[in-house]
Homo-oligomer: A and B are copies of this chain.
Amino acid sequence: MQYGFFDDTNREYVINSPKTPFPWINYLGNKDFFGLISNTAGGYTFYKDAKFRRLTRYRYNNVPIDTGGRYYYLKDEETIWNPGFKPSQTKLDHYECRHGLGYTRFLSQKNGVSSNLLCFIPLDYMGEVHLLKLQNDSNKIKKIKLFSFAEWCLWNAEDDMANFQRNLSTGEVEVEGSTIYHKTEYKERRNHFAFFSANVKIDGFDTDRESFIGMHNGFNNPEVVENGNSKNSIAHGWSPIASHYIEIELQPGEEKDFVFILAYVENEKDDKWSSKAVINKSKAYKMMEQFDSSKKVLAAFEELQNYWSKLLDTFQLESNEPKLNRMVNIWNQYQCMVTFNMSRSASFFESGIGRGMGFRDSNQDLIGFVHQVPELAKERILDIAATQFEDGGCYHQYQPLTKMGNHALGGDFNDDPLWLILSVTSYIKETGDFGILDEQVPFDNDESKAKSLFHHLHVSFYHVVNNLGPNQLPLIGRADWNDCLNLNCFSENPNESFQTTGNKKGNTAESLMIAGLFVVYGKEYVKLCNQIGKGEDAKTAQIHIDKMIEAVKSKGWDGEWYLRAYDYFGNKVGSNENEEGKIFIESQGWCTMAEIGADEGMPEKALNSVKKMLDTPYGIVLNNPAFTEYRIEYGEISTYPAGYKENAGIFCHNNPWIIIGETLLGRGDQAWDYFKKICPAYLEEISELHKVEPYIYCQMIAGKDAHKPGEGKNSWLTGTAAWNYYTITQYILGIQPDYNGLRIDPCIPSNWKEFKVIRKFRNATYNINIYNPNGNCKGINSLSINGIEITGNLIPVHPEGNYQIDVHM
């Protein structure tokens, strides 16, 4: 069942039933100021940090779900309705929510009045702009009462939902003209305020929630809207809100438009006041003037669209798979950029009050956006690397505001350092900017300990070498990529963390996933060293890699697949010997990508075992059989019900590792089959089961042991986006940036006859046509540039210009 459709021309997903199986959301904003917006206009806004600088209040866990947002109530005679359907839930004659790139538009109609509400955050603007057009489609004069609504968060989102003994006494506002200012705590230590403005004269306002809604009413039936008249209330404590009241008369056929702005302003400490207790609003006035007409708003909207076009145009695919085209060209890239902006902070599954930026998350996410915003990717790399320790270990998380490592959590997640090699080499391959390696980057955020970024890579590599266990395999530390496989924790208390409790480092438990990862990025390190003339470094490193390969082959192979780990007691994890958790996906992916034991056929056997034991109609599960009871020596993984999350759920992040492995084996049909299973556009028709957005990857899909296999969860903020984008573009479509050019090495389904890619790379634009007349999966026969055939599959770096590339498989 579908709840909407893709409008590829407009790069929009169009939801035409407001009652989606879960709120289907979008993100507004590109830098510093952000809004989350659902298909019923629910959600909230924040400045930079979703926890500490939240503008509007939002309640997760709410009933009905997704209640609270930026709302417009239209009272037309006795009918009250909202352009986004909620919160009144009045049945509309027409409803459309169009989620686009950085904007959302609601087109709706009720009783002869149509509404067009466009919400977006203009580039470099610290406010959400709402352009509301109302049109009288009837042949009678329409008198409409319009009420806007936003509820202020008292800035610190966590405190806002807990510290009532203080917060119910602190709320303060000002009203001037058609603008409502939220200034709680402005009189003390805050130098920032928010405002909600209208570009027309208003007929009333409310700023006190109880006055507007009524003590016993809900968002669905505010007292003021029911009564058709605002109370001009001024909030003193309790819950400050902002609501404008506008009386509108529309002649038959007439259209009127209104601009509302929900924005954030910072003043200098010494320039906070215009007079005693009155905010200095000069910056706010300028912001309002910037968008005081629909014309100005539409100009900024066009700018935003151009901005996104430019970002996405770096990679454009034309294949015979329209669903794939829209994912590659629009939605997957878009999700990668959202993930860049948000990391794991704020979604409808991440409450925005939790963790900082993950070291490993950020490095991996980068492979999804480095081609779109290489300069920001560089900045991110340098920020991340600065939280590393001198021995190559690193803080597992850091705070985006301060960019400092998170001391409470610390380090000892032993896969972390290797991901830095992935991000840095990806960046250089995309840009050719080897200069980044010479950047002086602090350790532990201490400038006095700065060394070159190359040195950071060096210690990353050797952090593994220096932390080997009894089988000469990498010690796992607190956990490797799978945060829930906690081999050194042993927690019995439900209020303890599985990652920070117990013998965190451990000197026994080893990870085969890190072993594979080490070989993959060790090879990258060697390649890089050779590239920059550090042949000796390369040679030494290669010795360690070879040793690791031997260790995996002798101690990490279970007969039909790679082991997952050795536990604290030296017992095998992910072995046929085990009753549950016989096989895990991560080590199959990484050891296959590392091609360990290729001569002995290990990768092929391993992937065949994946197919046999982990594959399902909805994707590849993480492990099998699922754990049915708590194993204290395995930790959190065994706490989840079978089939969910890391306990045999389809954890989408790691499916691409298997897909890449399949492409390395040349098995294009299998790779494509796996790819499609978790690709959201291919799941649109089972949305009632999949539940989450069909335009966006989710972190997890319920596995075969679950109650409802195929049910998705935790959409938007997941490394899945980057890994799938990386996999489809570089390993299936096979367009691979490399140090010295663009390599073309597709591995496709045998029934694909051709596809085209336009790829901007460094300064050139390549129009790449790939033909597959013989129904192959992999291997190219010829490659020509502007009609001239070259040897091999590497398009060298070209000067600015357009180039025609023809490839025959």
A166 interface residue per 8 A CB criterion: yes
B645 and A63 within 8 A (CB): no
A65 and B349 within 8 A (CB): no
| Residue numbers in B under 8 Å from A236 (CB-CB) | 641, 644, 706-708
A780 interface residue per 8 A CB criterion: no
A713 and B641 within 8 A (CB): no
Shortest distance in angstroms between A346's beta carbon and chain B's nearest beta carbon? 12
Q: Chain A 150-176 against B: per-residue CB contact (8 Å), 1 yes, 0 no?
A: 000001101011111110111010000
A641 and B237 within 8 A (CB): yes
Query: Given that A61-B59, A64-B218, A630-B187 are contacting pairs, would A351 and B156 also be in contact in the complex, using a CB cutoff of 8 Å?
Result: no
Q: Within A638-682, which residues are at the interface with B (CB < 8 Å)? A: 638-641, 644-645, 649
A532 interface residue per 8 A CB criterion: no
B353 and A65 within 8 A (CB): no
Interface residue SS majority, chain A: loop
In the bound assembly, the distance between CA atoms of A185 and B495 in angstroms comes to 11
A491 interface residue per 8 A CB criterion: yes
A378 interface residue per 8 A CB criterion: no
Name the residue on B nearest A19 (C-beta): B216
| Residue numbers in B under 8 Å from A628 (CB-CB) | 276-277
B213 and A700 within 8 A (CB): no
Q: Chain A 69-110 against B: per-residue CB contact (8 Å), 1 yes, 0 no?
A: 000000000000000001001000000000000000000000
| Residue numbers in B under 8 Å from A277 (CB-CB) | 628-629
Name the residue on B nearest A495 (C-beta): B52
| Residue numbers in B under 8 Å from A155 (CB-CB) | 494
In the bound assembly, the distance between CA atoms of A57 and B209 in angstroms comes to 24
In the bound assembly, the distance between CA atoms of A168 and B155 in angstroms comes to 26
A601 interface residue per 8 A CB criterion: no
A752 interface residue per 8 A CB criterion: no
B172 and A641 within 8 A (CB): yes
Shortest distance in angstroms between A272's beta carbon and chain B's nearest beta carbon? 10
| Residue numbers in B under 8 Å from A64 (CB-CB) | 213-218
Contact check: which of B89, B353, B640, B699 meets A162 at CB < 8 Å? B353
In the bound assembly, the distance between CA atoms of A168 and B639 in angstroms comes to 13
Shortest distance in angstroms between A291's beta carbon and chain B's nearest beta carbon? 28
B161 and A61 within 8 A (CB): yes
A488 interface residue per 8 A CB criterion: no
| Residue numbers in B under 8 Å from A190 (CB-CB) | 494
| Residue numbers in B under 8 Å from A166 (CB-CB) | 645
Sample of 5 further A-B pairs with CB below 8 A, known A22-B215, A59-B61 = A52-B495, A63-B68, A63-B209, A158-B162, A188-B494
A350 interface residue per 8 A CB criterion: yes
A791 interface residue per 8 A CB criterion: no
In the bound assembly, the distance between CA atoms of A662 and B161 in angstroms comes to 41
Query: Given that A216-B64, A236-B706 are contacting pairs, would A169 and B645 also be in contact in the complex, using a CB cutoff of 8 Å?
Result: yes
In the bound assembly, the distance between CA atoms of A689 and B691 in angstroms comes to 47
Shortest distance in angstroms between A194's beta carbon and chain B's nearest beta carbon? 14
| Residue numbers in B under 8 Å from A86 (CB-CB) | 216
| Residue numbers in B under 8 Å from A170 (CB-CB) | 639-641, 644
A354 interface residue per 8 A CB criterion: yes
A448 interface residue per 8 A CB criterion: no
A612 interface residue per 8 A CB criterion: no
Contact check: which of B215, B495, B700 meets A21 at CB < 8 Å? B215
A-B pairs with beta carbons under 8 Å apart, 16 shown: A57-B61, A61-B164, A64-B215, A86-B216, A89-B216, A162-B353, A162-B354, A163-B354, A164-B351, A165-B349, A169-B713, A188-B630, A189-B494, A236-B707, A237-B641, A237-B713
Q: Within A214-247, which residues are at the interface with B (CB < 8 Å)? A: 214-220, 234, 236-237, 239
A294 interface residue per 8 A CB criterion: no
| Residue numbers in B under 8 Å from A638 (CB-CB) | 188
Shortest distance in angstroms between A456's beta carbon and chain B's nearest beta carbon? 30
| Residue numbers in B under 8 Å from A353 (CB-CB) | 162
Shortest distance in angstroms between A43's beta carbon and chain B's nearest beta carbon? 15
Q: How many A residues touch the partner, as a band?
A: 35 or more
| Residue numbers in B under 8 Å from A214 (CB-CB) | 64
Name the residue on B nearest A708 (C-beta): B236
| Residue numbers in B under 8 Å from A307 (CB-CB) | none
A165 and B714 within 8 A (CB): yes
A270 interface residue per 8 A CB criterion: no
Shortest distance in angstroms between A412's beta carbon and chain B's nearest beta carbon? 21
In the bound assembly, the distance between CA atoms of A707 and B714 in angstroms comes to 44
| Residue numbers in B under 8 Å from A350 (CB-CB) | 164-165
A282 interface residue per 8 A CB criterion: no
B641 and A216 within 8 A (CB): no
Q: Chain A 184-199 against B: per-residue CB contact (8 Å), 1 yes, 0 no?
A: 0101111000000000
Contact check: which of B61, B67, B89, B640 meets A169 at CB < 8 Å? B640
Q: Within A484-510, which residues are at the interface with B (CB < 8 Å)? A: 491-496
Q: Chain A 333-351 against B: per-residue CB contact (8 Å), 1 yes, 0 no?
A: 0000000000000001111
Q: Within A458-517, which residues are at the interface with B (CB < 8 Å)? A: 491-496
Name the residue on B nearest A20 (C-beta): B215
A62 interface residue per 8 A CB criterion: yes
B239 and A61 within 8 A (CB): yes
A285 interface residue per 8 A CB criterion: no
In the bound assembly, the distance between CA atoms of A639 and B167 in angstroms comes to 11
A189 and B492 within 8 A (CB): yes
Query: Given that A169-B640, A494-B155, A645-B169 are contacting pairs, would A629 and B187 also be in contact in the complex, using a CB cutoff of 8 Å?
Result: yes
Contact check: which of B19, B60, B169, B629 meets A215 at CB < 8 Å? B19
Query: Given that A276-B628, A494-B185 are contacting pairs, would A60 and B156 also be in contact in the complex, using a CB cutoff of 8 Å?
Result: no
In the bound assembly, the distance between CA atoms of A802 and B719 in angstroms comes to 78
Q: Within A28-70, which residues are at the interface with B (CB < 8 Å)? A: 52, 57, 59-65, 67-68
In the bound assembly, the distance between CA atoms of A217 and B89 in angstroms comes to 9
| Residue numbers in B under 8 Å from A217 (CB-CB) | 64
A168 and B349 within 8 A (CB): yes
Q: Within A608-641, which residues are at the interface with B (CB < 8 Å)? A: 628-630, 638-641
| Residue numbers in B under 8 Å from A220 (CB-CB) | 218
A641 and B189 within 8 A (CB): no
| Residue numbers in B under 8 Å from A52 (CB-CB) | 495
Q: Chain A 694-720 against B: per-residue CB contact (8 Å), 1 yes, 0 no?
A: 000001100000111000011000000
Name the residue on B nearest A167 (C-beta): B61
Name the residue in A19, A155, A169 with the highest tally of chain B Cβ atoms < 10 Å from its Cβ. A169
In the bound assembly, the distance between CA atoms of A714 and B170 in angstroms comes to 13
| Residue numbers in B under 8 Å from A218 (CB-CB) | 63-64, 218, 220
